[in-house]
Amino acid sequence: MPLTLAFDIGYASIGWCVLSSEKLSKQPPEFLGTGVVTFPTDDCLASQRRDLRRTRRHIRSTRMRIERMKRFLVHGGVLTRSDLDKPGHPAPFLLAAAALQGHRTLTAWELWTVLRWYAHNRGYDGNSLWSRGEEESEDTEKVSNAWTLMETHKTKTMCETVCGCLSLNPKEHDQRISSALPYKTLNAAYPRKVVSDEVGRLLSLHFGKIPGLDAAVVRMLMSVSDLGEETRKQLESANVRLPKRYYGGLLFGQLVPRFDNRIIARCPVTWAKTYDEGIDAGKTDKEARHLADKFAKVPAAKCREYLEYRFARVIANLRADGEPLSPELRRRIWNLASERGSISPAVLEKEIKAALGKVSTNIEAYFNLHPDSVKQLVLDPAQDEFRKAGGRVSKLAPIWEKLPDSTRKYALDIWNRNGSVSLACLLEHAGATPELVKSLDSAFAAPKKGKKDGGGFRSFDDYLLRTRVTPDFPSGRAPYARPVLKQVVTEVLAGLDPTKPARSTSKPDGENKPADGILYSTLDPTSRVRQLQNERPLDQLTNNHLVRHRMLILDRLLDDILAEFGVDGRLPLQVVIEVARELREYSGKDRKAIKSAEYAKIAQHKSAEKHLKDNGITPNYSLIRKCRIAMDLNWTCPFTHRSYGVSELAELQYEHIIPRSKRLSDSMAGLVLTRPEINAMKGNRTALRFILDHSNGDLIVSPEKYKKWVDSLRVARKETYP
């Protein structure tokens, strides 16, 4: 008898079952075996490996930072290598505070001891060079704690605050240098701007007092901008070689990490082409696969080719009276977006109607489908931010128009590298002129609408440091290699569709062009690209470590099942697989985070159940489901705008916004509640079509009022009304 295999793949286990039955038989199937493969708690956890890897890299980067500073100071004649290798002072923060308050002048060795302490404690800058504008809540809490400590001890520097926490008096630095009080366990991260300012003051106090310490040495240590080729050559003469990805000076610089590089996907089109070329050249299968893996790597999604590809795919999907746009109009839109950096849906529709007259477009439906779809209209994120920086709502508006051209170009260069530009960074580069400082001070003192405590800034320096702008570059990897991305753009601007074949007898619905579109081979199930893609191992088709692990275990489990139950040549007639969607969502989360996510999923259920009980109604499945929908819809019928109460839930009926015959889904995001007579009137029509057909009556709301009401709901339900 043929076998039927069933698998249930989850993040904590894989359940399996083997059944045997004749095809089309009315007899119940025979269970030959069943079982489950369980996985330990927090196994295959990316977050733990990431934290450990981050710790190792932090330790190594600190050692490398100190070593580079040693070599540079030896080359400059500030200290000898033997002096630099001596054990440090037990309280370097006390020496720094005493020097800043004018109680003593440090020797060269004491200054080095202080600098080495700062190399371990450089302050927190929000990872501005590589965080993509995101700050972890834990880091934000640490910075807040640091500001609180500075306010408590009435200090403005990190070293003086540490002395305050330890009850040490910088004036008595030569009498008492130890304390039983803690300071490392206070969970505080001092802002980078605060730390860099105090180090700059400390070094400037010792100009001319320590041989070899001059402005050039300070710039080499303190620079916050990218080091030029000439500066790097000077460092090489001191046997200090910096990687190309290193940004900034020797003390406050950092190695900007490369993201999305651990597991790089391969372009299926380029892979198939390279593999076949290798086989035709007489290489073995292994050699051809090696070449294909080498040359088919996809670039990062922030590259220019992917941004152009993404924009080109949008242009290809636009329609005017149901027809694609002409090549001339496509190039016109392209040139406008290139000049501005981006284009809005409103401007897009304006350009189409200016060229074609009064036509019907799919722009509204296209960009209302998903809240992130408008991001695809950004062709150059850096240029887009440069254009918006002078706008009234921009964070940089207080000083942008007053900045010199060199500082604006400096900001554009950082944005082109997907970096973050803060007000403090611009102020430092342009020079803190009275005019700029006054403008920023006025903006800081102005009341912030909708924000408490002046926008949440602790001080003016905190405002300068945390007010930053980062271009919205896409993350991750592009879907195809650079040559394929470029070919897609070329075909789209020529008025063609890269996903369609050339017209032929076997493909009558194709386009009139000499060859198939570059992406058609990825859609054609009989193509060479799909054939080779299907031969690749499952665990190489995704970057998600948890999915890769589960697929690998599933592959081994399948081999064991066939070895035990596939006797006498019996093979599976069908294989049924159910995959929990949490498999991808829970990747990298520990047990605590998963438990929190599970509670969040039932939070609305609990809220609806409580609401029913509070109103004296015994909850059941149907009432809880209706109550959840009613709460999302503000207890209002979308078609009549008549309000209803909890006591009417039993009388109301479910209605699909898009008829179930057209979209087989009972998701609550696509359901509303209405009265039976309204449900009967709607029939098998979409919600918007129903309202348009009855807009002249008194019972059904107007289309404008309906759309305005939908837009007032949360974004998660906006996609349902078109």
What is Dmax (Cα atoms) for the chain?
98
Task: State which H helix or E strand residue 255 sits in.
Answer: strand 254-255
The predicted model scores a pTM of 0.66
pLDDT at 576 exceeding the cut of 70: yes
* DSSP letter assigned to residue 3: E
CB atoms within 10 A of CB 119: 19
Lowest mean pLDDT among 21-25, 89-93, 176-180, 345-349: 21-25
Identify the pLDDT of residue 139.
Answer: 66
Identity (one letter) of the amino acid at 423? Answer: L
Torsion, Cα 343 345 349 352, to 10 degrees, reads 40
**What is the distance between the alpha carbons of residues 210 and 76, in angstroms, rounded to a whole number?**
12
CA 682-686-687 angle, to 5 degrees, is: 70
Q: Tell me: the pLDDT tens digits for 637-693?
A: 988 888 999 989 989 999 888 887 777 777 777 889 999 998 888 888 888 888 888
pLDDT of residue 259: 56
pLDDT at 260 > cutoff 60: no
Lowest mean pLDDT among 28-32, 455-459, 500-504, 620-624: 455-459
The one-letter amino acid at 625: R
Question: Confidence band (pLDDT; 50, 70, 90) for 712?
Answer: confident
The total number of residues shown for the chain amounts to 722
State the pLDDT at residue 452.
Answer: 46
Give the model's pLDDT for residue 366.
82
Paired residues of 18 in beta bridges: 5, 33
pLDDT over 80 (residue 238): yes
Confidence at 465, pLDDT banded by 50, 70, 90: confident
Q: What is the mean pLDDT of residues 522-526?
A: 92
Paired strand residues for 300: 477
Is the model's pLDDT at 174 over the cut of 50?
yes
- pLDDT of res. 455: 56
Report percent pLDDT > 90 for the chain.
40
Q: What is the mean pLDDT of residues 50-58?
A: 85
Cα angle vertex 39, ends 34, 41, to 5°? 145
Scored b (16 or more CB within 10 A) or e, 693-707 reads: ebeeeeebbeeeebb
Angle at which helices 192-204 and 215-222 pack, to 10 degrees?
A: 170
Q: What is the pLDDT of residue 383?
A: 93
Which structure tokens are listed for 599?
Answer: 């509670």
Sign of dihedral through CA atoms 614, 620, 624, 627? Answer: negative
Is residue 540 very low, low, confident or very high in pLDDT (cuts 50, 70, 90)?
low
Please tell me whether residue 674 adopts helix, strand or coil conformation.
strand
Q: Is the dihedral of CA 537, 538, 539, 540 positive or negative?
A: positive
pLDDT in tens, 356-368: 998 988 888 788 7
pLDDT higher for 254 or 403?
403
Structure tokens at 97: 């505070």
Q: Is the pLDDT of residue 508 over 80?
A: yes
Q: Identify which of 514, 493, 491, 492 has the alpha carbon closest to the alpha carbon of residue 502.
A: 514
At residue 261, the pLDDT reads 54
* Token output for 500: 């369609």
Stretch among 348-352, 479-483, 667-671, 689-693 having the lowest mean pLDDT: 667-671
Task: State both tokens at 225.
Answer: 């901008």
**Backbone dihedral region of 259: left (phi > 0), alpha (psi from -120 to 50 degrees) or beta?**
beta
CA separation for the pair 512, 515 (Å, rounded): 9
pLDDT digits 0-9 by tens, 582-631 = 777 777 677 777 778 777 778 888 889 999 999 999 989 889 999 999 98
Arithmetic mean of pLDDT, 226-252: 87
For every residue of 94-127, DSSP letters joined together read HHHHHHHTTS----HHHHHHHHHHHHH---B-TT
79 exposure class (CB count in 10 Å sphere: 0-12, 13-18, 19+)? buried
Q: Which two tokens stand for residue 113?
A: 């001891």
* Model confidence at 1: pLDDT above 70: no
**DSSP string of 467-536?**
-EE---PPPSB-SS-HHHHHHHHHHHHTT--TTSPBP-SS-TTSBSSSS--TTHHHH-TTSHHHHHHHHS
CA–CA distance, 269 with 541 (Å, rounded to integer): 14
pLDDT of the residue at 127 = 63
pLDDT digits (tens, 9 = 90+) for 128-169: 655 544 445 556 788 889 989 999 999 999 999 999 999 999
Q: Is the pLDDT of residue 400 over 60?
A: yes
Quick one: pLDDT at residue 496? 94
Q: What is the DSSP letter of 521?
A: H
Helices of type H across 41-190: 46-75, 81-84, 92-100, 108-120, 137-153, 158-165
| Helix or strand run (H / E) with residue 18 | strand 13-20
| Least confident piece of the model among 12-16, 29-33, 110-114, 533-537 | 533-537
At residue 307, the pLDDT reads 96
| CA 627 – CA 577 distance, rounded (Å) | 33
CA distance 176 to 50: 41
* DSSP for 383-423, written as a single string: HHHHHHTTSTT-TTHHHHTTS-HHHHHHHHHHHHTT--EEH
pLDDT at 203 over 80: yes
Ramachandran region of residue 154, left (φ > 0), alpha (ψ -120 to 50) or beta?
Answer: left
Asked whether the beta carbons of 666 and 629 are under 8 A apart, the reply is: no
